[in-house]
Amino acid sequence: MNLFCNLSQTVLELSSAMLAAAREGDFETVRGMEVKRRQLLEKLFVRLPEGEDGAQSLRQVIEQIQTLDNALMKLIRQERDQAAQQLQQLKKHNQASRAYQAMDV
């Protein structure tokens, strides 16, 4: 149970750090941490404590991860939408520039 507790605490801390990095706009760091977190989660599921206490502990960890991930996904969607808007504006700007250059010839 002790190794499970240590791993679950590390996973939760990493999940919180991912959310903090996303809030700062550092999505490259988020991606790197996600790889590490996935590895830790695999180890966590191998170290599951037995019985009802183990199931309850796992349920609590999963619920906490889901809460953090929901907030993280919201930030990722916002960043994606903002990038899509910027790309759309860039395309419009390029179209206008090409039209102007065609008239200037």
The string of pLDDT tens digits covering residues 35-57 is 999 999 999 888 887 888 888 98
Q: Which 3-state string (H, E, C) describes 13-82? A: HHHHHHHHHHHCCCHHHHHHHHHHHHHHHHHHHHCCCCHHHHHHHHHHHHHHHHHHHHHHHHHHHHHHHH
Cα 84 to Cα 13: distance, rounded to the nearest angstrom? 31
Question: Distance between CA atoms of 67 and 81, rounded to whole angstroms?
Answer: 22
Structural domains present in the chain: 2-75 (1.20.58)
Give the pLDDT of residue 105.
60
pTM beyond 0.85: the answer is no
Per-residue pLDDT of 61-104, as tens digits, reads 999 999 999 999 999 999 999 999 998 888 888 887 787 777 76
> What pLDDT does 66 receive?
97
